[in-house]
Amino acid sequence: TPPAARPGGPLRFDPIASVPDDVDAVTVPAGFGWRPVIRWGDPLFADSPDFDPEHPDADAQERQFGYNNDYTDVIVTDPRGRRALLCCNHEYTNRAIMFPPTSSVAAEAEVLRTLMAAHGFSVVQLERRGRGKPWRYRRGARRNRRITATTVFRLDGPAAGSELLRTAADPSGTRVHGTLGNCSGGTTPWGTVLSGEENFNGYFRADPQAVGSKRYGLTDSPSSYGWEQIDPRFDARSADHANEPHRFGWIVEIDPTDPSSTPRKHTALGRFKHEGANVRVDRENRVVAYLGDDEKFDYLYKFVARDRYRPGRSKAARRHNLGLLSEGDLYVARFEGTRRPGNDNLGTGRWLPLVEDGRSAVEGMSVEEVLVFTRLAADRLGATPMDRCEDVEPSRETGKVYVVCTNNSDRGVKTGKPGADAANPRDANKNGHIIELTETGGAADAQTFAWDLFMVCGDTDQAGTYFAGWDGPVAPISCPDNVAFDSENNLWIATDGQPGSIGRNDGLFRVPLDGPERGHLTQFLAVPVEAETCGPVIHDRDGSVFVAVQHPGEDGDWADQHSAFPDYVPAGARPAPGEWRGPRPAIIQVTRESR
Ligand code: FEO
Ligand code: CA
Ligand code: CA
Ligand code: CA
């Protein structure tokens, strides 16, 4: 094994070539291997039934790993590095490739209940024999937990209990069943996990005339998931359930160390199609969370906590820090700057207050209205419409914030919508870009910032691409989505959408942010056909990279599966009669193979 690959050293690899979009395989660099850590349907508890997609069973799914992971973290919990908590969400389901078509009303109801149980979040204990060894999940471990579309959450913060959040079933406006559409997220410095409720609108049927319906994409058509057939709260047209959609679209906080804790939805961080949330603590222990609204022409936000972070591991510090996201101020970003011929654009910007000193900063709206209808409030302030903010993550090392704009094919194309500007430099932006944002004085609560374009993505020969000034060869990249940092402050970028934009499987890329190699983008892996790369988790000092392979083979159906990830049979081997060969979304670990 080359010295650089030893656990404790940085991760070196020979980049892979871009992979065509019909390849059903995980592609990793030469000398590396991959293995699933846990797959959809794997049993979590001692009494969990085994995976059996032929017979959808909601009770079984409640006790098994859920479907379609997006945000993922592996939090090492002991000093010898032998135990960890795998924390990941289950964003949505691809029913057509999961279960056989139904033939009765009862079977249909059971499928719908099973899909509800496949959503949400999992905490799973991992174990291994020592550093550098592969992780395995432990069935029946004390901290294993499933959170689903029916688990009780507590709403907290200034809008909790508001009339806008009350339903017939919950007159208190503080107790919500479930979390939906959980996309990216972040792990806080105090050890909890945040997750963004993103495309929640697709689960509801609603009154299109109700306040906010149009702006939040709520319509009167049957929902794409059909849950209103078995649970009336997903039909928000009746007075009893009219506010149920208001109870989704939040940042949720889950304490993975305490399986009995009640997860929370933080109203202080506003309600929109939350991609995720990443927290930074500045030198003065002020706390900021960066937030993206992933919709074409929607906005970038930040939340600044009222109270400061309390360092240390004491119980009192922990209790204090668990309250940080409950009270504070909310801002939305306005960008100014100049467009330059090489797309090496830069400029300044301002955080426009929506909630300031705990009070509404938007004329004619109460603080509760600002938090529940945040998009409507931000519209009034003249915030900058962005090209779909996905992950927005600060570097713990430099404090610079990386704002990932995945794409926006409607910019400069759709009537009534804005064309290119300095921070969103291309019309019909199908490949996306990444903005580097620097808070004035490095302060979490700065009112202004400077920014530059770090990367304007695309195939390498495409006009308008820009890689932070690097003029050597780079990997083609499109549709950046989740990002993470390694121990040397390199940015790792996962993509979602390359098959549609550049005809390549989605992948994971690495790019240095500083030094002479700044902008030198290389590709580390590619995921199988029709999958999105999620996670990622970079344990470079440990020789390990984890990714969540989300929605492999999603364009297939039960009879015509496009992917057999991750349980590939050797070439030429035939599945046994009745053996299921569809895909199973999974978390995989990539390590250097020992020789
Ligand atoms: Fe679920 Fe914005 O990606
Ligand atoms: Ca995403
Ligand atoms: Ca991230
Ligand atoms: Ca995406």
- Beta strands 507-512; 522-526: pairing state: antiparallel
**Ligand 1 within 6 A of CB of 387:** no
Tell me how far apart the alpha carbons of residues 396 and 393 are, in angstroms, rounded to a whole number.
9
CA 53 to chain CA mean position, Å: 26
Q: Report the atom number in ligand 1 closest to the C-alpha of 275.
A: 2
Q: Does 390 sit in the ligand 1 pocket, CB within 6 Å?
A: yes
What does the pLDDT look like over 458-506, one tens digit per residue?
A: 997 788 999 999 999 999 999 999 999 999 999 999 999 999 999 999 9
Q: Exposure string (b/e) for 258-291, b if CB count within 10 Å is 16 or more?
A: eeeeebbbbbbbbbbbbbbbbbbbbeeebbbbbb
pTM summary value: 0.97
Is residue 534 within 8 Å of 69, Cβ to Cβ? yes
Ligand nearest to the CA of 391: 3
The residue type of 192 is T
| Minimum CA distance residue for ligand 1 atom 3 | 183
Q: Say which residue the tokens 């002991």 belong to.
A: 78
Ligand 1 atom closest to residue 292's alpha carbon, by position in its atom list: 2
**ipTM higher than 0.95?**
yes
**What are the residue ranges in the chain where pLDDT is below 70?**
1-9, 575, 578, 594-595
- Torsion angles phi and psi, residue 562, rounded to 5: -90, -20
Query: Could you read off the pLDDT of 142-173 as tens digits, one per residue?
Result: 999 999 999 999 999 999 999 999 999 999 99
In angstroms, what is the span from residue 159 Cα to ligand 2's centroid?
A: 26
Residue 307 CB neighbour total at 10 angstroms: 15
Q: What is the pLDDT of residue 6?
A: 47
Query: How far is 519 from 538, CA to CA, in rounded Å?
Result: 19
Chain Cα centroid distance, residue 30: 29
Identify the bridge partners of residue 43 per DSSP, sorted by sequence position.
64
* Percent of the chain surpassing pLDDT 70: 97
State whether the beta carbon of 295 lies less than 6 angstroms from ligand 1.
no
Any idea which ligand is nearest the CA of 277? 3
CB within 8 Å of 573: residues ≥ 6 apart: none
Q: What's the rounded Cα separation, in Å, for the pair 22 and 556?
A: 13
Q: Dihedral of CA 416/419/422/428: which sign?
A: positive
Tokens of 137: 């999940």
Whose CA is closest to 585, among 556, 564, 557, 555? 564
Whose CA is closest to atom 1 on ligand 1?
183
Q: What pLDDT shows up at residue 8?
A: 57
Q: How many Å apart are CA 431 and CA 415, to the nearest integer? A: 21
C-beta 198 within 6 A of ligand 1 = yes
The SS3 of residue 435 is: strand
- Residue among 325, 44, 37 nearest 193 (CA): 325
| Structure-block tokens of residue 59 | 């009770």
Give the integer Cα–Cα distance in Å for 166 and 309.
32
For 414-432, the pLDDT digits (tens) are 999 999 999 999 999 999 9
Q: Is the CB of 183 under 6 A from ligand 1?
A: yes
DSSP 562: S
What is residue 593's predicted lDDT score, i.e. its pLDDT? Answer: 85
User: Own/partner pairs for 576-583, CB < 8 Å, 24+ apart?
Assistant: 578/54, 580/53, 580/54, 582/53, 582/97, 582/98, 582/553, 582/556, 582/558, 583/97, 583/528, 583/552, 583/553
Beta-carbon neighbours within 5 Å of ion ligand 4: 481, 496
Give CA–CA dist 27/29, Å, rounded: 7
pLDDT at 434: 99
Encode 514-541: b = buried (16+ Cβ within 10 Å), e = exposed.
eeeeebbbbbbbbbbbbbbbbbbbbbbb
Convert 469-537 into a string of H (helix), E (strand) and C (coil). CCCCCCCCECCEEEEEECCCCEEEEEECCHHHHHCECCEEEEEECCCCCCCCCEEEEECCCCCEEEEEE
Q: Give a three-class secondary structure readout of 476-494.
A: CECCEEEEEECCCCEEEEE
Structure tokens of 318? 């922990």
Q: How far is the CA of 390 from the centre of ligand 3 (A)?
A: 9
